[in-house]
Structure 1
């Protein structure tokens, strides 16, 4: 079943909507069946897992690898770039659009959230009232274990997000950022040419070519 355009438009509008729409629930149920099958694949069933991933996600790039189990509200609203790797327990609250750029690495137990509920108490009494804002992750990003990314966030290319961070605002490209809330700690620079972590020096064959 293809998700009706009316349903997709509703989820991507940025406005408050009800998630108990009949067409929406039917489409989501089919996605949940695909997700169940994906997570139930055996380690030796790589071809089957790849076929299911291509049916489940909005796109699934060449060489991409998502370790089961993956948890998702939809799956089809998440677009996975080439050679993306995600460790186990990736959680996608993907009623809104999630874009993950090529060569990005995602640690275990990462949560990407596109959806929230109104602050106004009377609207929140109805638990099916929600809004969704897109999350965009650039290319060659490294997201550490247990990171949570909130609705509407964009993370720039090459950026490193430290473990256990809460990313509530955009992060630029080419920085190291961490914390709750997540803040830029420093740019990626000359020190990183020679050291891969703290005072541990990079040795051949991993030396960068001369500038």
Structure 2
């Protein structure tokens, strides 16, 4: 298997493989262009976002934004990422419709071995992340590798998501846990 195939299948891989390094550089060039273009240049900006993600979308991403590859991020309709979001997409990240990321959100599929010798060798792994429809992450939320988040979930600011979160819940904390259930059609603001 190539290092890329290992990465995408969740096995340990070498991130400094030439193919992966070239693909990260391509994504970094596109992120740089997105981050440098005037926000009023919406058509050109949207074209660059679509090129980065490898899909036609209505996604709006505020600057600065950074990711590893771009092509592993699949977003639904109405996706919005506020300023300072980082997505480490070494494994697939699937995000449903109408999802909102507040400033400073980090979504990371990448992880490293606990053993220091193995970690120093450059080995790492990646686990896919799935985010349902109508999800809102507050400022500075961190989502860790291998997590699934259900539909209609609100994650409070500063929370760290290390385990799956059930649909229709407000979750908060480090680690993030459900603190209450949302009623169907509830319009109350998060408190």
CA distance in 2, matches of 1:138, 1:58: 20
User: Which of residues 76, 79, 89 is equivalent to 1:81?
Assistant: 76
The alignment of Structure 1 onto Structure 2 pairs a total of residues equal to: 191
Q: Give me the TM-score of the superposition, normalised by structure 2.
A: 0.93
Displacement of 1:193 in angstroms is: 3.3
Aligned to 1:130: 124
Matches within 5 A, 1:27-176: 27-61=23-57, 63-126=58-121, 128-176=122-170
Gaps of 5+ in 1: 199-211
CA distance in 1, matches of 2:98, 2:183: 20
CA RMSD of aligned residues (A): 1.8
CA distance in 2, matches of 1:54, 1:7: 26
> 1:32/1:170 Cα in 2 relative to 1: closer, same or farther (>3 Å)?
same
Q: Give me the TM-score of the superposition, normalised by structure 1.
A: 0.85
Gaps of 5+ in 2: none
- Spell out, residue by residue over 1:75-96, the C-alpha distance to the aligned partner (whole angstroms, 9 max, x if none): 1211121111111111111111
CA distance in 2, matches of 1:8, 1:89: 27
